[in-house]
């Protein structure tokens, strides 16, 4: 049995610029393992240690995902090995095609019955890839998972809900999108980074996978419409009372 963690080697939006039309320039953005994925890795590592199994990372991305820097950055987080599609043509793939590739990688891992992923990717934040992976695998998928344990022939998942939490028992394999606060993330030290360089990372050709090609055309872009503001100012000793009254009249309170 292996625990699989899907991760993304993504550019950081903090390094981008946006032009007047709203188009984002990613050319100077530095890439790293997506900010929310280390939480999923930590949850997988803790679970794997309790079960005596390994953690296998999977990723689909450009040739950079197989670089030494990307390998060390990902595997130093706690994964034992990785299986990746490193192909520059993936830059034109949409989420559906990427998810089909990730599902194909899962199929190449013997005994994989659990796939974990971060809450979202730092660059696109679409929050749909875990559910798409589950769809291609034919497995159930749960979002906002805060904890997971082995239970019989399946898994017991604690899921955050609007009213608190709920625990779900699933017989068989499952895909789980891990909540951002599910576990504290360990920052890898130099020893972890050096050890990661010796861990195996195998590449799989995109041609060896059954991919789903979906046409997606961007028909336009627009900046968000700025909301009109009243710009009211309240002065005097009763300014606070005036503000409260105004908020009530506007239906904000």
pLDDT tens-digit map of 53-76: 999 999 999 999 999 999 999 999
Determine the 3-state secondary structure of 196 from DSSP: helix
Give the Cα separation of 74 and 34 in Å (integer). Answer: 9
In the prediction, which pLDDT does 31 show?
Answer: 85
Half-sphere exposure of 186 (CA within 13 A, CB side): 18
pTM given for the model = 0.82
pLDDT at 214 over 90: no
For the chain, what's the residue count? 253
In the prediction, which pLDDT does 150 show?
Answer: 94
pLDDT at 18 over 90: no
Residues 113-162 have pLDDT tens digits of 999 999 878 777 788 999 999 999 999 999 999 999 999 889 999 999 88
Q: Please state which of the four CATH numbers 3.40.50.300, 3.40.50.2300, 3.30.1330.40, 3.40.50.620 is assigned to the domain occupying 2-208.
A: 3.40.50.620
List CB contacts of 111: < 8 A, sequence separation 6 or more. Answer: 1, 2
Per-residue pLDDT band for 250 (boundaries 50, 70, 90) equals: confident
In the prediction, which pLDDT does 108 show?
Answer: 96
List CB contacts of 36: < 8 A, sequence separation 6 or more. Answer: 118, 119, 120, 121, 122, 178, 180
Sorted by where each begins, the domain ranges of the chain are 2-208
């Amino acid at each position: 049995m292996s625990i699989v963690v899907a991760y993304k080697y993504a550019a950081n939006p903090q390094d981008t610029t946006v032009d007047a039309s709203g188009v984002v320039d990613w050319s100077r953005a530095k890439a790293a393992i997506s900010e929310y994925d280390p939480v999923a890795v930590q949850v997988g590592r803790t679970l794997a240690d309790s079960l005596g199994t390994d953690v296998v990372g999977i990723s689909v991305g450009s040739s950079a995902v197989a670089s030494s820097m990307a390998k060390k950055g990902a595997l130093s987080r706690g994964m034992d090995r990785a299986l990746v599609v490193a192909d520059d043509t993936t830059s034109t793939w949409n989420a559906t095609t990427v998810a089909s590739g990730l599902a194909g990688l899962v199929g190449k891992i013997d005994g994989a019955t659990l796939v974990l992923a971060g809450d979202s990717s730092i660059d696109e934040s679409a929050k749909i890839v875990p559910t798409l992976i589950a769809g291609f695998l034919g497995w159930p998928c749960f979002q906002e998972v805060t904890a997971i344990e082995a239970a019989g022939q399946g898994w017991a998942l604690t899921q955050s809900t609007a009213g608190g939490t709920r625990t779900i028992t699933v017989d068989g394999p499952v895909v789980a999108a891990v909540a951002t606060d599910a576990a504290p993330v360990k920052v890898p030290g130099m020893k972890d980074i050096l050890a990661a360089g010796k861990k195996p990372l195998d590449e799989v050709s995109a041609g060896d996978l059954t991919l789903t090609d979906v046409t997606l055309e961007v028909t336009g872009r627009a900046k968000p419409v700025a909301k009109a503001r009243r710009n009211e100012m309240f002065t005097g000793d009763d300014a606070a009372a005036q503000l409260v009254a105004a908020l009530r009249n506007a239906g904000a309170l």
